[in-house]
Structure 1
Amino acid sequence: MKSLKKAVAALSVIASVLFLTAAPASAHTLDQAVRAGSGCGWTSGSYTTLHSDGAHYRPTGIQYGTIYLLWSSTYQENCVVTLKISLAHGVESRTSAYLYMLSPAERVGDDDNYAHYAAVSYPARGRCVAYTGYVYVPFVGPASGGRSAYDNCG
């Protein structure tokens, strides 16, 4: 049993070192994700945050990201951004952002290995939307959040 405790403690130290050394000097912000071509692609930068939720690792409640549901009246699109924070920020791992729409039912998403954020935008004017986001944290597990209820129907 002592060997197992030592192994777990050593693994925790290694994971902490990896997380602390992988974080970049400058953090990516929500505004940067919104403007980037790999993000929402809204170069005007004009948007409204409709809703947001934390990406929490359920067993501990620790938050490793924030998922945003955004609207751009300029582009007439919704965008979902899953922005990594804390120890997950700067560490490349599976990260996703999904937008769900009604009438007709449709889902669009971005799901890949990213260090800072995942984002997806789509013209959803006049449709009710829901959203989810996911951050896989190495040596910890999955953190997720979003809103399953369809809303923002305008």
Structure 2
Amino acid sequence: MSEIKEVYNKEIYAPFLDYCNELKYKTMQDLLKCPFHLLSKRPDISSLLSSRIKTVFETYRKANPREFIVAKTNTKNTSSMSDVELQIALQQYFKENANHLIVAAEAVKAVNGRAKRADVVRILEQAFWCQTVDKGSFYYKGL
């Protein structure tokens, strides 16, 4: 992985290198987080220089695509919930919001996205404490 100062090695890029040091950007991959559209708002970086900086980055990125490949992690096993955990979490959420009509999207958010919408709907349709209004709307009917 190349360092930013190796790619932006001309004197004209000194304000940008200072900016990168402030944000602790060291490698070119760190620039994936850089808000290039905000660079021109800084007093020491003109809009022309900002455009040039972004162009150099995009050119570098196209020339070195392997450096920007991020390894995918298997989050399904680590963050998904079992049916029992899902039912407990949903029941708690529905109890807290007993006087509201709850749509499936809200229920998925209530479990922090740790379950798929289809799984949430399946659990809610089977739960004795939940009443289905229509395909995606539910309410808490109590125990």
TM class, shorter-length: under 0.3
Compare relative contact order (CA 8 Å, sep 6+) and give the higher one, 1 or 2: 1
Computing the radius of gyration from Cα coordinates, the structure with the larger value is 2
TM-score, normalised via structure 2 length: 0.25
TM-score normalised to structure 1 length: 0.23
Write 1 or 2 for the structure with the bigger share of strand.
1
Structure number having the greater helix percentage: 2
